[in-house]
C-alpha cells in the first residue's frame, strides 16, 4: 500500500494497555474465492492519542504518520466519527439513536451530566518530552524531600 500518499482508515477503538496510544480495529471486506462472498477481516493498528481523547468503542478515522513514532505506533487519530453511546447524525447534526432523534431539553431534565463530546479535531496531539508533563504524574506518589520521609 505504499502507492497511496495519505493513507486513512476507519476503525473502532478497542481496549489497549498503552498510555499514549489507542488500539484501533479496522475491518475490511475480503473476497473468499471459493464461496465468492465478501467477509469482514479484522486488523489492528496503534494510533497516537496522548490526551486520551477516544474511548473504547468509538468509531474513529485514523491516518498514517509520515514517520513511525515507535515500532508499533504507526498512525494517529485524525477524527472521532461516532462517539460510543453519543452518536451524532451527520445529516441533521442532532444526537440520536436508531429509533429517533434525542430531545435535548428532556435529556437535561433526566440526566444531570452528559458525557463529554470530543471530536478530536481541536485537541493538539503535541509530543510530550518529559514524563512529568503527564497529568497523572503531576503529583508524585511520594514526596521527594528527604525531610518528609518518616522513617
Residues of the shown chain interacting with another protein in the complex, contacts defined by CB under 8 A:
1, 4-10, 26-29, 31, 35-38, 59, 61, 78-79, 82, 87, 89-92, 96-101
Query: What cell does 7 get?
Result: 493513507
Handedness of CA 137, 143, 146, 151 (dihedral sign): negative
CB of 144 to another protein, least distance (A): 45
Smaller CB separation from another protein, 18 or 96: 96
Minimum distance from residue 3 beta carbon to another protein (Å): 9
Nearest to 28 by CA among 48, 42, 16: 42
Give the residue with the Cβ less far from another protein, 65 or 87. Answer: 87
CA–centroid distance for 39 within its chain? 25
Select 65 or 96, whichever has its Cβ closest to another protein.
Answer: 96
C-alpha to C-alpha distance for 92 and 82, rounded to whole angstroms? 14
Amino acid at each position: 500500500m505504499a502507492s497511496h500518499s495519505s493513507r486513512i482508515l476507519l476503525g473502532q477503538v478497542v481496549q489497549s494497555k498503552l498510555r499514549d496510544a489507542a488500539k484501533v480495529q479496522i475491518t475490511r471486506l475480503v473476497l473468499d474465492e471459493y464461496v465468492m462472498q465478501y467477509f469482514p477481516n479484522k486488523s489492528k493498528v496503534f494510533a497516537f492519542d496522548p490526551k486520551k481523547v477516544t474511548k473504547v468503542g468509538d468509531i474513529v478515522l485514523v491516518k498514517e504518520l509520515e514517520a513511525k513514532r515507535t515500532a508499533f505506533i504507526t498512525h494517529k487519530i485524525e477524527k472521532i466519527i461516532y462517539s460510543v453511546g453519543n452518536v451524532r447524525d451527520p445529516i441533521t447534526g442532532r444526537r440520536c439513536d436508531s429509533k429517533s432523534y434525542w430531545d435535548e431539553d428532556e435529556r437535561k431534565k433526566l440526566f444531570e451530566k452528559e458525557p463529554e463530546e470530543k471530536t478530536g479535531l481541536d485537541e493538539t496531539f503535541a509530543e510530550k518530552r518529559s514524563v512529568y508533563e503527564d497529568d497523572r504524574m503531576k503529583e508524585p506518589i511520594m514526596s521527594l524531600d528527604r525531610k518528609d520521609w518518616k522513617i
